[in-house]
Chain A
Amino acid sequence: MSIKIENLTHIYMKNSPFEKKALDDVNIEIKDGEFVALIGHTGSGKSTLIQHINGLLKPDSGKIIVDGVDITEKKINLSFIRKKIGLVFQYPEYQLFEETIEKDIAFGPKNLGLSDDDINNRVKRAMNIVGLKYEEYKDRSPFDLSGGQKRRVAIAGVVAMEPRVLILDEPTAGLDPKGRDDILGEIKSLQKEYKLTIILVSHSMEDVAKLADRIIVMHNGRCILDGSPVQVFKEIDTLESVGLAVPQVTYMVRKLKHEGINISEDIFTIEQAKEEILRLLNKG
């Protein structure tokens, strides 16, 4: 399922002294099954953009075409969008509210009017995907869990809607390193095994480098860079000028080059750095 964003513009507080263009003529096409990372400093327009993609906000001009349907049309059926595109907000665990984990995850599917069997199957599947054992957790209160596990329950609630596209707004903020790696691993498997399209908003260049097929960089409501990690992380100066950075190993590579060492510049992860350094040392 592809998403096509055409000339999207959104203005906050229009016709007031505080008028601000939050999105300024954005054009993006996201292909089925892609893992896209959306990066940009606070206030760059990332959140405004993702809220348009699942119909929470309407643009001032421009179109968003999902599966051939323009979802910015006034008459559009919102449940059409919500079934296809799931959005996991920042700190989604604050939205947990039910007595048991099972009920909390079942809330969305129930509202789709599914049969009890269907709902139950979806809850089981969603819990399995995020790594929570159904029998062990179904009757427990979501509020007795650790931060990382609460977040898993919240993500399972969106996964149980069985969307084709999953948008996650900083899903690892505030988690410890293990919790972070576990959740990111599960998100990657949603793309690989379940063929979901993933749009990940992140502030961690290291995580983005490890996971994404493609990186979109936002600044002042505009999409200023769009390409593979190789293409985007080459633009160190541009990224730094908009308050971002490149992964640590990429800075290391730049310094090594400066010292006259002939090392490949297309290195963004520790794994790649290791391979390249081993190659250089063995050769010499």
Chain B
Amino acid sequence: MILCKDVSYKYEDADKGNSKLAVDHVTFEVKKGEFLVILGRNGSGKSTIAKHMNALLIPTGGKVYVENFDTCDEKNIWNIRNKAGMVFQNPDNQIVATIVEEDVAFGPENLGVLPEEIRLRVDDCLKRVNMQEYKRYAPHLLSGGQKQRVAIAGVLAMRPDCIIFDESTAMLDPSGRREVMNTIKEINGKYNMTVILITHYMEEAVEANRIIVMDEGKIIMEGTPRNIFSQVGKMKDIGLDVPQMTELAYELRANGVNIRSDILTIDEMVSELCRLK
């Protein structure tokens, strides 16, 4: 679906004449239908690499291919944006219309989709994010989680194959976060949409098929959630975290309890503890 080949990106600061390598020779592939999470500290390059995946940024070294379209070639930009959509952190910055359904229609309208087709897409996409009852609402009357789901519907209406979520849950309260995560899981599982999620919440990363950990512009770890999070010491050294249950298992092991080190969820912890008891 998406191939990043030896990608580098250098930010130039014209005033001071210095530059910074935000992404440093990164290679990886995102497979169709995959749920990939990218973790990393602030400034590790994860948002920069994400912006390469729908040609918001063009690599200063290496190549990015979205379904075989080279992002360096300007002719491909609209094909790429049709394939890969993006949802950002702040819900208030990405809603353009004054009525929910008009906001969802904005993308397809700009693609020149016929009005009858737009109507069908808008209704279908609002249903997919469970917001059909709100189609005539003004967006400012919605909660953060609801606004983010409208933003997701707006991207879905452009019929992409892949959606990149750049810390899309960071500004939400617990129920908003849960709503958006459920929607993300559903579009991945039920509609087979490729999902790339950037997050600081380790509990969200547990849901992924694969995790990539970035630090100082490089990929330093890659694997399944179980594999990545069982390396508690290493994750903490990088300045990241592990899910609460993994940390508890780690602490118990440090105190001589013979418990699995790769526990991720509450259910796994409960069954392990019941076994030990």
Contact = CB atoms under 8 A, between A and B. Distances in A.
Interface of A: 40-43, 146-148, 173-180, 203, 205-206, 243-245, 247-249, 251-252, 255-256, 259, 261, 270-271, 273-274, 277-278, 280-281, 284
A180 B199 CA distance: 14
Contact of B240 (A173, A177, A274, A284): A177
Given A174-B200, A175-B42, A42 B270 contact: no
A146 B174 contact: no
Contact of B43 (A146, A203, A247): A146
Given A41-B143, A147-B43, A281-B276, A175 B203 contact: no
B41 to A, nearest CB: 4
A243 B42 contact: no
Contacts of A180: 200
Q: Give the dominant DSSP class at A's interface.
A: helix
A42 B172 contact: yes
Interface stretch (B29-37, B151-159, B242-250): B242-250
B231 interface: no
B12 interface: no
A146 B176 CA distance: 27
B68 interface: no
Given A41-B174, A146-B42, A273-B248, 6 more contacts: A176-B200, A205-B174, A248-B244, A248-B266, A270-B247, A281-B277
B200 A203 contact: no
Given A243-B173, A243-B175, A281-B277, A178 B257 contact: no
Given A147-B42, A248-B244, A252-B269, A176 B239 contact: yes
Contact of B170 (A148, A174, A259, A280): A174
B176 A42 contact: yes
A248 B239 contact: no
Interface residues of B, number: 40
B252 interface: yes
A42 B43 contact: no
Nearest to A243: B175
A261 B273 CA distance: 9
Contacts of A42: 143-145, 172-173, 176
B21 interface: no
B110 interface: no
Nearest to B239: A178
B252 A177 contact: no
A278 B172 contact: no
B174 A243 contact: yes
A284 B275 CA distance: 12
Interface in B147-202: 167, 170-177, 200, 202
16 contacts: A41-B173, A42-B144, A42-B176, A147-B42, A174-B200, A203-B172, A248-B203, A248-B243, A255-B266, A255-B270, A259-B274, A261-B274, A270-B247, A273-B248, A274-B248, A278-B252
Nearest to A41: B173
Nearest to A205: B174
Contacts of B41: 176, 178-179
A41 B266 contact: no
B95 to A, nearest CB: 15
In order of increasing CB-CB distance, the 3 nearest A-B pairs are A178-B239, A243-B175, A177-B241
A177 B239 contact: yes
Nearest to B179: A243
Contacts of A203: 172-174, 177
B255 interface: yes
